[in-house]
Amino acid sequence: MPEGPEIRRAADEIERAITREPVQDIFFAFEHLKPYEDKLRGDRILNVQTRGKGMLIRFACQLNIYSHNQLYGIWYVRKAYDFPQTKRQLRLAIHNSQKSALLYSASDIEVLREDELIQHPFWSQVGPDVLDSAVSVEQVVARLLDPRFHRRGLVSLLLDQKFLCGLGNYLRSEVLFVAGVHPSLRPMDCTPEQITGLAEAAIALARQSYTTGGITNDLARVAQLKQQGLSRGQYRFHVFNRDGQPCWVCQTPIEKNILGGRRIYYCPVCQSKGVSPVFT
């Protein structure tokens, strides 16, 4: 499932492709959205925004296309009307004379007026976006200490888009590792240094993933590993998807657990401080 950095990179590509000239044609797969095709055809797209995993394509006419990729949605940006060979179902297509932006498989697509965004169940209720340059470490620290959140387990809290938006499963494991926090802990169990470390890691790793196309490992280490001939899949992460492999820092085998149906990876040594004895 794509996380905030992947959606933001997709939005950047879509924005470069379809904001340069008016929309030549537009297609909605869902019948209740088809009346908007005539309203949006010929209009200009102002920009493409994201909040976490949600995307908003803003039109000059003050209508907006909201989409959420969920588990299976995927965007393609291609030459105009050059559709990919795929068994996926096309849900949305936006064309100009040069490019096409194509959304496949997603089912969460809406057309919204500006006033409707204020009450939208996702767009209006998500927490601070870790990719937003205005979001600070101090803001994230404050949320970790907020009574609404500080008693909740970090493994679920870091995936809650109402807490922070843009983090997903791989970033969760990576943030906990970089902060030196065991997956069993809650914010209230953490030291002040760990709280600050969590806030710093949540912002820094999300932004690094965005700029590097998904790499969250230490970049100096990545450069060395590349020279040694390791593949991207081998050097990309600190701990995620590396169960049984040695920790880059202490050489202890990385461990994997399934919590709430989602995989969590961690180093039992680097993340041992304050570990709960009931964690299994």
Q: Which of 2, 5, 183, 187 is catalytic?
A: 2
Query: Is 2 a known active-site residue?
Result: yes
pLDDT of the residue at 276: 52
Active-site pick, 41, 88, 186, 262: 262
Helices 192-212/137-145 angle, 10° precision: 130
Dist CA 36 CA 94 (whole Å): 12
Q: Does the active-site annotation cover 147? A: no
Integer angstrom CA distances of residue 273 from 144, 200, 247:
18, 18, 16
* Distance between CA atoms of residues 53 and 166, nearest Å: 6
The secondary structure of 113-171 as a DSSP string is: EHHHHTT-TTTTT---BTT-TT--HHHHHHHHHSTTTTTS-HHHHTT-TTTSBS--HHH
- Told to judge if 262 belongs to the known catalytic residues of this protein, a careful annotator would answer yes
Q: Tell me whether residue 3 is one of the annotated catalytic residues.
A: yes
Indicate the pTM of the whole model.
0.92
Which residue in the list 8, 53, 91, 236 is annotated as catalytic? 53
137-266 shares the fold of 4-117: no
In degrees, rounded to 5, the angle at the alpha carbon of residue 267 between the alpha carbons of residues 263 and 269 is 150
H/E run at residue 26: strand 25-28
What b/e readout covers 63-73, taking b as 16+ CB neighbours within 10 angstroms? bbbbbbbeeeb
Q: Which of 3, 15, 110, 174 is catalytic?
A: 3
What was the pLDDT predicted at 261? Answer: 81
Look up the CATH architecture of domain 4-117. Answer: Alpha-Beta Barrel (3.20)
Size of the chain in residues = 280
Pick the CATH number of 137-266 from 3.40.50.2300, 3.30.870.10, 1.10.8.50, 3.30.360.10: 1.10.8.50
Contact 168, 206 (CB under 8 A): no
| Angle, vertex CA 194, rays to CA 191 and CA 195, nearest 5 | 90
Domain range summary for the chain, segments of one domain joined by +: 4-117, 137-266
What does the pLDDT profile of the chain (280 residues) look like in tens digits?
A: 679 999 999 999 999 999 999 999 999 999 999 999 999 999 999 999 999 989 999 999 999 999 998 888 999 999 999 999 999 999 999 999 999 999 999 999 999 999 999 999 999 999 999 999 999 999 999 999 999 999 999 999 999 999 999 999 999 999 999 999 999 999 999 999 999 999 999 999 999 999 999 999 999 999 999 999 999 999 999 999 999 999 999 999 999 999 878 899 999 999 987 665 444 4
